């Protein structure tokens, strides 16, 4: 005896049209005929040549304008409603299916059920009826792009965009599931992204439940929308389905949007179905992209093999999504406007203050030590110069040779390092000077001079000539053997010393500021990492406390934090296994699953375009 079930996968990928608000506007489509469906694909359009079906002029009261697509179940037309003056999409059941009374009744019944759904995230069904003995559905015409088209263009989506879609789809599924309607074919092709690039809608709601209606009528070849890569394990095995199957498909969809690939991939359907039933999906990973652990946990739970281990309804999923949004909002605020928690602030400022005080004390000590050394060098130069001059003028002064004295002073005047020289006798009378007007006059000490050093035969004074000019005045005794002949005053510039001291101070201050900034940034970054790791661990432990053992921490560091994350993951996995020992397991034979196209052609390898196939299972 042979029993079998058939599942139409990607049926009517092209049956839900995208729209425009005028009759002549066409949606963009990569070179195909006008695509208006979140489900449009080459498999849908090629399932039957258009020449086999003549486009009707009218469907009921609706005037047909163009054919938008066709699938294994129905044709989709762009039409105009003259009574309401609007454009819409009309889906007409294929003739061979319309002649089947049970299929026909089921189509109308489920279409009416879908028509009861009124939600911003679900395509609206306006009317259900029969025209020319063929059932039809009149529905909303959308202006947008199917999500699978966007994925082909972008390869993958950002985390923020994906989470935005996740929120909208979860709300739509929550509403539909509360009305008792499951979709059973959640995939990129059945999600429409509208022209605002923000809003998404689920298409073909309700038609996916047609198999239940036909099964209740005793039919053995029921059809239900589904795509291999997005099918739940129980759907692959032909077991009874409920809303949790939609949530599994939603997890596969999120995985695809984040990484650009489905959780399970294989070259042939047999291996793909085996992976769906047996293998554990890997964590989402994209180079250069940080995926929140909370989002990893959500997808991990959505992709559980056993329905009892998934979210039992969309409301529970929404609870974790809100937690994810809170985490993302906090992280965004920290990026836009650093909002330090008190621990990080105290730690960072404390470390920076300690380094600042230490460096400031060191700067003061080093600066004054260096300035003192440089000043000693300058005063030694002044002493040496004045002693040399005193030795040179001693003999002419003893001989009272005025000409020789003036000649010596004149030569010294040419020296750029010496600004002033004055020779005077023991009575204080100036004998020679670089300032000729002082000669034969009493020597007058410079005003504002400050004594900075003194020896037995000399003294050195510091004097500010102007705001940017400072000099040293060295007053030395002129001796010839042991006889005191007079005194000599030599003035040398201290500008080089002052400039060097200022430059040294500036360099030290700049180095201190750079060091402080480096210490502040490094301490802040380290403190933020510790805070983030602590927060992750705290949230993970809180989930464990609530009995949610599916929480895992990302192991991104090869240090103590990495070891702590590994230890936590091992603990969570051990607890999950311990508490799930008695849980029922998903099992089934995938070797006898046969896959064929709606035309009856057998296929063995998977297609990359979510093509329509029929899944059959034979049992002896």
DSSP-assigned letters across all residues of 481-524: TTEEEEEEEEEEE-HHHHHHHHHHHHHHHHHHHHHHHHHHHHHH
What pLDDT was estimated at residue 581?
59
Helix, strand, or coil (residue 308) = helix
18 pairs with which residues across the strands?
142
Token representation of residue 215: 């099964």
pLDDT confidence band for 65 (50 / 70 / 90): very high
The residue that leads in pLDDT, 331 or 310, is 310
Residue 514, CA distances (Å) to 57, 166, 352 in order: 78, 45, 12
Rounded to 10°, the helix 314-336/293-302 angle is: 160
What is the pairing mode between strands 430-433 and 418-425?
A: antiparallel
Which 3-state string (H, E, C) describes 530-550? HHHHHHHHHHHHHHHHCCCCC
In terms of Cβ atoms closer than 10 Å to its own Cβ (0-12, 13-18, 19+), residue 565 is buried
pLDDT confidence band for 212 (50 / 70 / 90): low
Q: Mean pLDDT throughout 490-503?
A: 81
Distance CA(239)–CA(588), nearest Å, equals 10
In percent, the amount of the chain with pLDDT more than 70 equals: 76
Residue 408 pLDDT exceeds 90:
no
Distance CA(187)–CA(4), nearest Å, equals 25
In terms of Cβ atoms closer than 10 Å to its own Cβ (0-12, 13-18, 19+), residue 368 is exposed
Distance, C-alpha 211 to centroid of its chain: 43
Which 3-state string (H, E, C) describes 591-603? CCEEEECCCCCEC
Domains of the chain: 6-336 (1.10.510.10), 358-500 (3.30.450.20)
Distance CA(59)–CA(134), nearest Å, equals 9
What pLDDT was estimated at residue 170?
95
In percent, the amount of the chain with pLDDT more than 90 equals: 19
Cα angle 173, 143, 73 (rounded to 5 degrees) comes to: 65
Strands (DSSP E) found in 24-83: 58-59, 62-70, 74-81
Mean pLDDT of the chain: 77
What pLDDT was estimated at residue 592?
60
What pLDDT was estimated at residue 255?
95
The residue that leads in pLDDT, 598 or 27, is 598
Distance CA(37)–CA(42), nearest Å, equals 12
Q: Could you read off the pLDDT of 82-140 as tens digits, one per residue?
A: 999 999 999 898 888 888 887 788 778 777 777 888 899 998 889 988 898 889 999 99
Residue pointed to by tokens 């596969």: 252
Distance CA(395)–CA(401), nearest Å, equals 9
What pLDDT was estimated at residue 222?
43
What pLDDT was estimated at residue 59?
92
In terms of Cβ atoms closer than 10 Å to its own Cβ (0-12, 13-18, 19+), residue 481 is exposed
Residue pair 134/98 in contact by the 8 Å Cβ criterion: yes
Residue 522, CA distances (Å) to 26, 130, 353, 579 in order: 55, 72, 14, 43
451 pairs with which residues across the strands?
461
Report whether 178 belongs to an annotated binding site: no
Token representation of residue 232: 């739940």
Which 3-state string (H, E, C) describes 462-481? EEEEECCEEEEEEEEEEEEC
pLDDT confidence band for 19 (50 / 70 / 90): very low
Distance, C-alpha 303 to centroid of its chain: 24
Q: Could you read off the pLDDT of 521-573 as tens digits, one per residue?
A: 887 777 777 777 777 777 777 777 766 676 677 766 667 777 777 887 788 77
Residue 205 pLDDT exceeds 60:
yes
Token representation of residue 542: 């809180």
Residue 54, CA distances (Å) to 51, 64, 432, 548 in order: 7, 12, 126, 57
Sign of CA dihedral 73, 211, 190, 599: negative
Burial readout 188-205 (b: 16 or more C-beta within 10 A, e: otherwise): bbbbbbeeeeebbbbbbb
Residue among 29, 36, 6 at smallest CA distance from 203: 36
Token representation of residue 285: 């990973």
Cα angle 583, 322, 200 (rounded to 5 degrees) comes to: 100
What is the pairing mode between strands 483-493 and 418-425?
A: antiparallel
Phi/psi of residue 479, nearest 5 degrees: -120, 140
Q: Could you read off the pLDDT of 498-517 as tens digits, one per residue?
A: 778 788 888 888 888 888 88
Phi/psi of residue 83, nearest 5 degrees: -70, -35
Residue pair 5/614 in contact by the 8 Å Cβ criterion: no
Distance CA(17)–CA(15), nearest Å, equals 6
Most confident of 1-5, 127-131, 221-225, 394-398: 127-131
Distance CA(315)–CA(527), nearest Å, equals 36
């Amino acid at each position: 005896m042979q029993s079998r079930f058939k599942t139409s996968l990607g049926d009517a990928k092209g049956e839900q049209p995208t729209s425009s608000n005028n009759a002549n506007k066409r949606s963009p489509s990569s070179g195909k005929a006008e695509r208006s469906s979140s489900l449009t694909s080459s498999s849908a359009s090629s399932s039957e040549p258009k020449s086999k079906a003549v486009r009707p002029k009218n469907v009921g009261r609706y005037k047909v304008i163009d054919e938008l697509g066709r699938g294994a179940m129905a044709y989709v037309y762009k039409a105009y409603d003259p009574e309401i003056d609007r454009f819409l999409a009309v889906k007409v059941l294929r003739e061979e299916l319309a002649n089947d009374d049970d299929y026909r009744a089921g189509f109308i019944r489920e279409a009416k059920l879908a028509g009861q759904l009124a939600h911003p995230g679900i395509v609206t069904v306006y009317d259900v009826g029969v025209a020319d003995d063929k059932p039809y559905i009149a529905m909303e015409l959308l202006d947008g792009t199917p999500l699978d088209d966007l994925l082909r263009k972008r390869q993958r989506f950002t985390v923020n965009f994906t989470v935005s879609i996740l929120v909208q789809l979860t709300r739509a599924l929550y509403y539909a599931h509360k009305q008792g309607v499951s979709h059973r074919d959640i995939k990129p092709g059945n999600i429409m992204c509208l022209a605002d690039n923000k809003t998404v809608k689920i298409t073909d709601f309700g038609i996916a439940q047609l198999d239940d209606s036909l099964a209740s009528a005793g039919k053995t070849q029921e059809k239900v929308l589904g795509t291999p890569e997005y099918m739940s394990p129980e759907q692959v095995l032909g077991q009874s389905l409920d809303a949790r199957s939609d949530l599994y498909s939603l997890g596969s969809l999120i995985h695809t949007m984040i990484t650009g690939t489905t959780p399970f991939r294989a070259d042939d359907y047999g291996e793909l179905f085996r992976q769906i039933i047996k293998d554990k999906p890997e964590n989402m990973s994209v180079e250069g992209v940080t995926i929140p652990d909370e989002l990893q946990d959500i997808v991990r739970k959505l992709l559980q093999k056993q329905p009892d281990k998934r979210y039992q309804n969309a409301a529970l999923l929404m609870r974790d999504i809100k937690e994810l949004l809170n985490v993302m909002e906090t992280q965004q605020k920290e990026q836009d406007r650093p909002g330090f928690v008190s621990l990080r602030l105290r730690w960072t400022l404390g470390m920076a203050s300690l380094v600042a005080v230490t460096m400031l004390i060191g700067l003061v000590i080093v600066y004054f030590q260096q300035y003192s050394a440089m000043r000693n060098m300058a005063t030694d130069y002044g002493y040496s110069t004045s002693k040399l001059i005193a030795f040179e003028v001693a003999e002419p002064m003893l001989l009272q040779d005025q000409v020789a004295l003036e000649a010596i002073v004149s030569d010294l005047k040419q020296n750029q390092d010496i600004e002033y020289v004055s020779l005077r006798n023991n009575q204080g009378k100036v004998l020679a000077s670089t300032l000729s007007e002082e000669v034969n006059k009493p020597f007058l000490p410079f005003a504002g001079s400050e004594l900075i050093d003194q020896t037995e035969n000399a003294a050195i004074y510091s004097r500010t000539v102007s705001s940017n000019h400072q000099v040293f005045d060295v007053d030395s005794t002129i001796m010839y053997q042991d006889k005191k002949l007079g005194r000599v005053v030599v003035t040398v510039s201290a500008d080089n010393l002052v400039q060097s001291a200022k430059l040294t101070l500036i360099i030290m201050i700049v180095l201190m500021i750079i060091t402080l900034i480096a210490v502040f940034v490094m301490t802040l970054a380290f403190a933020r990492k510790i805070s983030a790791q602590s927060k992750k661990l705290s949230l993970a432990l809180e989930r464990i406390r609530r009995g949610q053992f599916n929480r895992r921490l990302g192991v991104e560091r090869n240090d103590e934090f990495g070891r702590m994350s590994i230890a936590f993951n091992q603990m969570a996995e051990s607890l999950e296994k311990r508490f799930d020992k008695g849980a029922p397991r998903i099992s089934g034979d995938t070797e006898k699953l046969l896959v064929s196209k709606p035309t009856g052609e057998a296929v063995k390898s998977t297609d990359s375009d979510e093509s329509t196939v029929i899944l059959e299972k034979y049992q002896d």
